[in-house]
Structure 1
Amino acid sequence: MTSLVAPEAPARPAPPARPAPATRGRALELQGFRGLAALSTVVFHVWQQYYRYDAAGAHPPLDNPYVGALVSLEVIDLFFVMSAYLLTLSYARAAIDGAEGSVRPWRVFLFRRAIRILPLYFLAVLVVWSMRNPTLPGDWRDLVQHLTFTHVFDRGRIFYTLGPTWSLSLEVAFYLALVVLGPLAVRACRGLRTRRARVALCASGCVALFALPAGWIAYAHYVRHVPHTDWPVYFGPQARFGSFAAGMALAVLLTALGDGRGRIGARWVTALSVAAFGGLYALSYLSAPENFAHTFYHPLAALLWSVLLFATLRVRRRERERVRWHGLLRARWVTAVGLISYSLYIWHEPVMLELDKAGLLPSSGGGFPVAALVVVLVALAVGTASYWLVEYPASLLGRAKDAGGASRDFYPEGSTTR
């Protein structure tokens, strides 16, 4: 039915402002971190599985201990810290500054997380499990555990099917914890009159969430004398949630500082970055089975990665181009790897094992650099195809669902973990 007089058009909301160059730069730098970390993950797992664990569950060293420390520098905590930081930002802003409109309803949040990780993950689990279990029922417990993200609690099967995806179990646990803890923090902060009190409450909560897993690790190692090869004890959320807590604390800190305060110059950025990376390298170099650096490697690494991310995110805008390290993070090839990093993470181990089975990787220990290069190149090709054929189409569904007006995450959703 039509009318000669057109009805008054409803007021349209103003189109979202295009992100400022500095914001786009920070997003690219975080994507660059993901790209470098994803490449490091592939090299690490080629080394780890190419040389195999020794009888004590330790990584055998390379001929050069300094190179060995660099290769064995684990980036799992960087992924956890970044994931927690990005996903906690909206809750921190709501709790500290009252920006509750930036928080998605928990159903929308979990739907978008599911769309982000589940289609590719379930596909990969079913494909790889079927290849390794050609006769039914096969190891059906392994399949059920992977499909329910509970394999991290099974000492025997934690690294079955898709070995690196034990970390996705922790990601899922964090998502579920965040949709409970985030609204609780927002509600608790409503009754506090001063911004300082709200910041203190949020910060103290993050400290507690960091301290509890560290206490668990100390109890398991020094009181119960549990060996570090009892994987569920040290790989489960009760031991690894501290890395997420460090990322949550970073979100609280940057929200508390706001846009104008606490920015640092290029020299301080360089100094903090060098100190943080130096500390990470030292942890890797000093880590040996059952020593202090090994026992508390991941809580300490999470703190150091947080420092590195703080330096990246808080540099003064006019001095951003002076930090050469950030230029590498924004390089097109690095951010391109960051874009496909989740697919790369999911497929690189099956790719490596199939290449080895086909005899396409050198068999001698000295062939590690060649093996790493071959696996990286093939995994990048597979990861690129996987991103465009599976990840990207699924992300379109997630974007269509997100029509509630909530602000988008600072970085495209998702995390890559190893």
Structure 2
Amino acid sequence: MTGSASRRPAGARGFVPALEGIRGLAAVGVLTTHVAFVTRSSSGSPLKRVFGRLDLAVAVFFAKSGFLLWRTHASHARRDEPGTARPTREYLRSRLVRIMPAYVVLVAAAMLLLKQNHVNGPTSWLVNLTLTQIYTSEFLVAGLTHAWSLAVEMAYYLAFPVLWTAMKGLRGNAAGWRIPVIAAFGASGLVFPMLPWHGLGILPPYVNEQILPPAFTAWFAAGMLLAEVATAPPGTLVRLCRDRLARWGWWVVGGAALVATTVPAWFSEGFIHPGPVEFAARTGLAGAMAFMVLAPVVLAPEGTRFPVLESVPLQKVGAWSYGIFLWHQLILLASFPLTHTPLWARRMSVIWPVTVAGSLAAGAASHRFLEEPARRALERR
């Protein structure tokens, strides 16, 4: 691209429209895996195994959060400015305003509308409302099982101020050390699930270490590393994203990382609790996939267009993606009686389009009537 070598990366500052499109695709990917599971279509053939692993799109969500939340602090350090870039109180308030209003409504809807949840007592309500369910035995609640990832994300929202405060001295000439420090932080998540936490008596038997926040440092670190690269003087990685054909190479490699997690000789099929080494390998490949998916967008020259990702439909889906993610499990459960389909019937071709259509509608309604009004009301205070 003419003149691209002199332009800063697109992700160095401001809104990146193509990221919104990627977020929309990731939301549909997670939805697809959940539909595949309840229609027994997540294993048995190469395509079904891909359906069964599209939930690894959660890594893209986490990496995107890591990128956007870390970028300001990476830029702050590169400019050799003291302290931290953003007040912690203001930052935490913005995260709570973004996540909690619609989520609280979802919890109430799942608890009240689903008969199987009527047996849940105050403790179940409390831990699910506070996104602490992954640390308890109250995790498997109908319509809310996917909220484990929100609980992990909230934990990282709380941890980020600690991380950027700890690294505030790595600025100016020392800013180059930030990348190896973040890489080490990410690698720690691959070690965490292989340690015998239950055998040592550190974790109670009902806590699944594979959904605890430390198991996902690699996914957040992927985005944090991209934030550091995007705000640093352009180097090799940025140059590798300048050419359009090279950018497709990144996506092909990212897709290959995802496909690798579906190979039966290497990884279990479907929703089977993997062993520690298998889980670490899957998590590492998903983190690499997220990095490869996001890098061509955030490291491309500023002004680069991505027509499909920036198209009106995908921009809408991206804007609605949080609501799509929140409500798709309830929509999925409702799609079976709506289509006169028995639960677990092998009818993904029927259940998937109904769930997608319903989730898009729910996501649009959530965005318009819950998320945006709550944000405007709470931010004025």
For Structure 1 versus Structure 2, the TM-score category normalised by the shorter chain is: 0.7 to 0.9
The answer to whether the Cα contact below 8 Å between 1:272 and 1:308 also exists between their aligned partners in 2 is: yes
2:233 matches 1:257: yes
Q: 3-state SS of the aligned residue for 1:340?
A: helix
Q: 3-state SS of the aligned residue for 1:189?
A: coil
State which of 162, 165, 176 in structure 2 corresponds to 1:199.
Answer: 176
Q: Deviations over 1:367-411 (max 9, x none)?
A: 11111011111111122111100011122245546xxxxxxxxxx
Q: Deviations over 1:247-304 (max 9, x none)?
A: 2122112222359993421121111221121122222334214485544211221122
Residue identity matched to 1:28: P
Q: Deviations over 1:148-198 (max 9, x none)?
A: 211112245245451111111111111111112112312x235xxx53x22
State which of 66, 76, 96 in structure 1 corresponds to 2:78.
Answer: 96
Change (3 A) 1:261 1:38: closer
Q: Distance in 2 between matches of 1:128 and 1:69?
A: 29
Q: Distance in 2 between matches of 1:246 and 1:220?
A: 26
Q: Distance in 2 between matches of 1:340 and 1:311?
A: 23
Question: Superposed, which structure 2 residues align to 1:73-222 within 5 Å?
Answer: 73=54, 74-98=56-80, 103-132=85-114, 138-155=120-137, 157-186=139-168, 188-189=169-170, 194-195=172-173, 197-200=174-177, 202-220=178-196
Aligned residue number for residue 49 of structure 2? 68
State the superposition RMSD in angstroms: 3.3
Q: 3-state SS of the aligned residue for 1:79?
A: helix
TM-score normalised to the size of structure 1? 0.76
Q: Distance in 1 between matches of 2:24 and 2:208?
A: 28
TM-score normalised to the size of structure 2? 0.83
Higher mean alpha-carbon deviation, 40-49 vs 168-177, is at 40-49
Residue identity matched to 2:238: G
Aligned residue number for residue 295 of structure 2? 310
Aligned residue number for residue 255 of structure 2? 277
2:317 matches 1:337: yes
Q: Distance in 1 between matches of 2:15 and 2:42?
A: 37
Q: Deviations over 1:25-68 (max 9, x none)?
A: 971110000111111111111112232xxxxxxx8514x32343
2:33 matches 1:44: yes
2:356 matches 1:376: yes
Change (3 A) 1:21 1:394: farther
The answer to whether the Cα contact below 8 Å between 2:257 and 2:285 also exists between their aligned partners in 1 is: no
4+ aligned runs moved over 6 Å, structure 1: 23-26, 133-137, 221-224
Change (3 A) 1:328 1:220: farther
Q: Distance in 2 between matches of 1:99 and 1:220?
A: 42
Matched length: 360
Aligned residue number for residue 390 of structure 1? 370
Question: By how many angstroms is 1:238 displaced?
Answer: 2.1
Residue identity matched to 1:375: T
Question: By how many angstroms is 1:123 displaced?
Answer: 1.2
What residue ranges of structure 2 are gaps of 5+ in the alignment? Answer: 1-7, 269-273
Q: Distance in 2 between matches of 1:364 and 1:93?
A: 49
Higher mean alpha-carbon deviation, 212-221 vs 109-118, is at 212-221
Change (3 A) 1:158 1:150: farther
Aligned residue number for residue 32 of structure 1? 21
The answer to whether the Cα contact below 8 Å between 1:111 and 1:398 also exists between their aligned partners in 2 is: no
Identity percentage of aligned residues: 25
Change (3 A) 1:159 1:130: closer
Question: Superposed, which structure 2 residues align to 1:218-297 within 5 Å?
Answer: 218-220=194-196, 232-257=208-233, 262-263=238-239, 264-285=242-263, 286-288=266-268, 289-290=274-275, 292-297=277-282
Change (3 A) 1:25 1:333: farther
Q: Distance in 1 between matches of 2:63 and 2:186?
A: 12
Q: Distance in 2 between matches of 1:390 and 1:169?
A: 20
Aligned residue number for residue 4 of structure 2? none
Q: Distance in 2 between matches of 1:261 and 1:297?
A: 24
Q: Distance in 1 between matches of 2:170 and 2:343?
A: 59
Change (3 A) 1:136 1:78: closer
Change (3 A) 1:214 1:82: same
The answer to whether the Cα contact below 8 Å between 1:26 and 1:312 also exists between their aligned partners in 2 is: no
Q: Distance in 2 between matches of 1:291 and 1:113?
A: 32
The answer to whether the Cα contact below 8 Å between 1:122 and 1:147 also exists between their aligned partners in 2 is: yes
